[in-house]
């Protein structure tokens, strides 16, 4: 089950990364940004942890349900939660494209909350 979660987490991470600006599907990410409702941006292309549930679900059922035929709904729930946790660890350990780590991410979150009147 851990192997399944690691595979799902890395596939979702790959999908997320390729939709970043300057990457192979960066234009698709930009199209999503301009054409999808803002509320679903994290689940579709902005947040690899948030993406784990949606992208991880269809990947899990495609790989382990249709292709290998070993999927169960109980395992699906556990695999997706573990995959989300793996991506949290990966995010904590890896810098962003500019080389900054958590401080830049926290500043960005703070700015978003402040812009929405939630912070301060």
* 66 within domain boundaries: yes
* 87 within domain boundaries: yes
* 102 within domain boundaries: no
* 47 within domain boundaries: yes
Please indicate whether residue 116 or residue 73 has the higher confidence score (pLDDT). Answer: 73
Rounded Cα distance, 67 and 61, in Å: 8
* 89 within domain boundaries: yes
Residue 111 has pLDDT above 90, yes or no: no
* 50 within domain boundaries: yes
> pLDDT per residue over 41-94, tens digit each?
999 999 999 999 999 999 999 998 877 778 888 899 999 999 999 999 998 887
* 110 within domain boundaries: no
* 101 within domain boundaries: no
Rounded Cα distance, 24 and 96, in Å: 17
6 and 12 Cβ atoms separated by less than 8 Å: no
> pLDDT per residue over 12-22, tens digit each?
999 999 999 88
Domains identified in the chain, total number: 1
64 and 5 Cβ atoms separated by less than 8 Å: no
Which structural domain range is residue 28 located in? 2-95
């Amino acid at each position: 089950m851990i192997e399944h979660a690691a595979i799902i987490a890395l596939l979702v991470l790959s999908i997320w990364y390729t939709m970043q600006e300057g990457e192979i599907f960066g234009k698709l990410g930009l199209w999503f940004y301009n054409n999808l409702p803002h509320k679903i941006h994290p689940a579709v292309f902005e947040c690899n942890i948030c993406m784990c549930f949606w992208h991880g679900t269809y990947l899990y059922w495609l790989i382990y349900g249709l292709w290998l035929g070993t999927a169960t709904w109980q395992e699906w729930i556990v695999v997706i939660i573990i995959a989300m946790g793996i991506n949290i660890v990966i995010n904590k350990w890896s810098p962003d494209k500019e080389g900054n780590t958590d401080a830049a991410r926290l500043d960005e979150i703070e700015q978003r909350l402040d812009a929405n009147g939630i912070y301060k």
